[in-house]
Amino acid sequence: MERKVNLGLMQMRCQEDNQANFDRAILHIKEAAGNGAQIICTQELFKSPYFCQVENPDHFDLAEVIDEKNPTIKKLSELASDLKIVLIASLFEKRAPGIYHNTTAVLDADGSFLGKYRKMHIPDDPHYYEKYYFTPGDLGYKVFDTKFGKIGVLICWDQWFPEAARLLGLQGVEIIFIPTAIGFSRAEEGTT
């Protein structure tokens, strides 16, 4: 059966004020839903500027526990329910003392928290010091059965490893979302 699903993909400039970023993201999500988006995906680590270009222990303060009790998840869950949208939100997760992940939370159109995906492939290149911050994911590649279809999530560098998409495909995924925070880096200008 053929069906149409409208997608909203969010990419915004972030400032140092995480609450202002979150509030602006809420406005963008509402705007996308108002324009007909049924599934909306934020950019990677949408509540802050991409902080992995430097190794700074202060950035660990940005991490939060990702579960139904978390205030961010509660707010996003209410938003998904009110707007009747599926929402994919990329966040910095604190799993346990000293264990952090680059994680997406998946919320269904009724606001239910379907689960999360933790980024598996963690780069450590000049200007991308993610191994300083993130532990590789341990939840596997999941397909989430949402109101609007079976979706999978990878995060940024995961896309360069085709087996990830293949494993999602074997599970019947219909749409794969890949939130990312980066594109072209000015630091790489003139390099090959």
Per-residue confidence at 188, pLDDT binned at 50, 70, 90? low
Q: What is the mean pLDDT of residues 157-184?
A: 94
CB 58: neighbour CB atoms within 10 A?
7
- The whole-number pLDDT of residue 184 equals 58
Per-residue confidence at 127, pLDDT binned at 50, 70, 90? confident
Q: What is the pLDDT of residues 84-117, one digit of tens each?
A: 999 999 999 999 999 999 999 999 999 999 999 9
- The whole-number pLDDT of residue 18 equals 96
Per-residue confidence at 190, pLDDT binned at 50, 70, 90? low
pLDDT above 90 as % of the chain: 90
Annotated catalytic residue within 44, 47, 52, 142: 44
Q: What is the pLDDT of residues 48-68, one digit of tens each?
A: 999 999 999 999 999 999 999
* Nearest Cα to Cα of residue 99 among 62, 72, 136, 70: 136
- The whole-number pLDDT of residue 182 equals 78
CATH class for the region spanning 7-185 = alpha beta
14 carries an active-site annotation = no
Annotated catalytic residue within 47, 94, 116, 119: 119
- The whole-number pLDDT of residue 40 equals 99
**Domains of the chain: which residue ranges?**
7-185
74 carries an active-site annotation = no
User: How far is CA 143 from each of CA 24, 148, 180, rounded to the nearest angstrom?
Assistant: 29, 13, 19
Those residues with Cβ within 8 angstroms of residue 85's Cβ, 6 or more apart along the chain or in another chain: 8, 29, 33, 37, 38, 39, 40, 79, 109
156 carries an active-site annotation = yes
- The whole-number pLDDT of residue 192 equals 52
